[in-house]
């Protein structure tokens, strides 16, 4: 099997899997429809771009379609960025202002109208043979690279912000899913450098053997990335539920000082009151507890409670609540009268909603697993 056949087989499998996953995302019943649709569109644009791996020669009989395929690339980074927003923020909705993201796509197609779409075949071929040397096409190459960098860096910043906000305001977030989204973003960002290497090799060596091997590697990377998407989709069918986009990290509301903030008598009283309330009322037993819920029970402004926990106690709300849940779990595990309870029953009883998050938190605070702690609680 030569490298061309390998590339075509890898590309064909990759395109099939991508389109299959996109179809699944469009038809599966879920409350996260917008995120699924945006991911499906992103995957579809990648499948369209990957069709180049199936071409051994330029499709002279389908020049208009090939030109339109080039323009699809200008929607790829924007669609991924919008997808990240929809995953990270529960109240994200598409609005007319988001049409601004389509301007590069529209601009490139207007350029194709001038040189390809409505011209005769001879004029199209002549335009294609010289367009890479034109200043306008050089601008579009630069524009694509600029947009890719901006959108993917923005995506990473959005993921980091949403994770910070979640830890400061919610309990039981599925951080593993958010981490999967972060890894997917990094993976696509890294794979993009194969495209940059291909461009550089083409510029220096032309359309030679080295470029063909890089194209083959690019096709294999596309297949690998597609399989990764399928793995995430099957392993984590419920994606990160998202935070409210109106919430801000505590550092934006009350920036940390260089030294530890001074805890006066009033703050000490508030901290002690909060601790007593957590022990007596046990609000942490509610698996869906948020900082808004706790603030309402304490009759305290959310901003003040968030500042008290995140700034003065130097803890995320997530960690603050889970400490009480772990202590409650330890009490149950030590109680001989409740030895018939399974670990799964205990974790739900103390406010966790998944075995993995309970085990991770329990080991973080105790240094051992729940099962081992039950056997040797001392």
Give the integer Cα–Cα distance in Å for 351 and 329: 10
CATH code, domain carrying 190: 1.20.1070
Report yes or no: 349 and 325 within 8 Å, Cβ to Cβ: no
Taking the alpha carbons at both ends of the chain, their separation in whole angstroms is 63
Do 229 and 277 lie in one domain? The reply is: no
> Does 54 reside within a domain?
yes
Domain boundary among 177, 201, 235: 235
> Does 350 reside within a domain?
yes
Cα-flanking dihedrals φ and ψ of residue 81, to 5°? -60, -45
Report pLDDT for 265: 78
Give the integer Cα–Cα distance in Å for 286 and 289: 5
Give the integer Cα–Cα distance in Å for 2 and 172: 51
Do 227 and 351 lie in one domain? The reply is: no
What's the domain count of the chain? 2
Do 316 and 215 lie in one domain? The reply is: no
User: DSSP character for 341?
Assistant: S
Is the entire prediction scored with pTM above 0.75?
Answer: no
Domain boundary among 171, 203, 235: 235
> Does 316 reside within a domain?
yes
Mean pLDDT per 10-residue run, the chain (378 residues)? 65 81 78 81 86 78 91 92 86 91 95 90 89 88 88 90 77 64 79 72 65 66 67 55 52 48 76 91 87 88 85 84 91 87 89 82 88 83
Give the integer Cα–Cα distance in Å for 275 and 317: 13
> Does 244 reside within a domain?
no
Give the integer Cα–Cα distance in Å for 69 and 155: 24
Which of helix, strand or coil describes residue 131?
Answer: helix
> Does 241 reside within a domain?
no
Alpha carbon of 169 to those of 79, 134, 247, 297, 312: distances in Å?
28, 52, 9, 15, 15
Do 30 and 174 lie in one domain? The reply is: yes
Do 368 and 256 lie in one domain? The reply is: yes
Do 64 and 90 lie in one domain? The reply is: yes
Do 223 and 254 lie in one domain? The reply is: no
Do 112 and 199 lie in one domain? The reply is: yes
Domain boundary among 205, 235, 265: 235
> Does 90 reside within a domain?
yes
> Does 155 reside within a domain?
yes
Question: The domain containing residue 343 runs over which residues?
Answer: 250-375
Do 338 and 257 lie in one domain? The reply is: yes
- Tokens read off for 324: 């009480």
Do 341 and 303 lie in one domain? The reply is: yes
Report pLDDT for 140: 92
Do 174 and 52 lie in one domain? The reply is: yes
Do 87 and 201 lie in one domain? The reply is: yes
Region class of 172: left (phi > 0), else alpha (psi between -120 and 50), else beta: left
Report pLDDT for 318: 84
Report pLDDT for 256: 47
* Count of C-beta atoms within a 10 Å radius of residue 123: 12
> Does 288 reside within a domain?
yes
CATH code, domain carrying 306: 1.10.10.60
Which segments of 28-54 does DSSP mark as H helices, in order?
33-50
């Amino acid at each position: 099997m030569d490298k061309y056949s390998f590339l075509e087989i890898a590309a064909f499998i990759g395109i099939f899997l991508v389109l299959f996953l996109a179809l699944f995302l469009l038809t599966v019943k879920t409350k996260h429809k917008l995120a699924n649709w945006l991911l499906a569109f992103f995957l579809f644009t990648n499948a369209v771009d990957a069709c180049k791996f199936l071409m051994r020669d330029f499709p002279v009989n389908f020049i208009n379609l090939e030109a339109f395929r080039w323009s699809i690339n200008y929607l790829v980074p924007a669609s991924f960025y919008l997808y990240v927003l929809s995953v990270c923020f529960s109240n994200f909705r598409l609005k007319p202002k988001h049409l601004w993201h389509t301007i590069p796509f529209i601009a490139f197609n207007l350029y194709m109208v001038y040189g390809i779409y409505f011209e005769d075949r001879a004029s199209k071929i002549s335009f294609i043979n010289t367009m890479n040397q034109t200043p306008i096409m050089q601008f579009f190459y630069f524009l694509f690279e600029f947009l890719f960098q901006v959108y993917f860096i923005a995506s990473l910043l959005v993921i980091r912000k949403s994770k910070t906000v979640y830890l400061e305001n919610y309990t039981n977030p599925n951080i593993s899913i958010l981490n999967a989204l972060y890894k997917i973003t990094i993976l696509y960002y890294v794979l993009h450098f194969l495209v940059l290497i291909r461009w550089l090799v083409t510029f220096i060596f032309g359309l030679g053997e080295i470029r063909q091997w890089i194209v083959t590697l690019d096709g294999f990377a596309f297949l690998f990335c597609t399989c990764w998407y399928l793995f995430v989709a099957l392993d984590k069918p419920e994606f990160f539920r998202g935070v409210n986009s109106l919430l801000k990290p505590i550092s934006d509301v009350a920036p940390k000082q260089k030294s530890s903030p001074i805890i006066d008598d009033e703050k000490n009283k508030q901290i002690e009151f909060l601790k007593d309330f957590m022990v007596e009322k046990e609000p942490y037993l509610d698996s869906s507890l948020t900082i808004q819920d706790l603030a309402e029970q304490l009759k305290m402004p959310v901003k003040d409670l968030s500042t008290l926990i995140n700034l003065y106690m130097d803890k995320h709300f997530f960690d603050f609540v889970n400490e009480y849940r772990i202590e409650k779990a330890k009490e149950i595990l030590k109680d001989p009268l409740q030895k018939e309870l399974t670990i799964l029953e205990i974790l739900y009883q103390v406010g966790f909603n998944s075995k993995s998050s309970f085990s991770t938190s329990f080991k973080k605070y105790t240094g051992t697993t729940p099962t081992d702690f039950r056997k040797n609680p001392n």
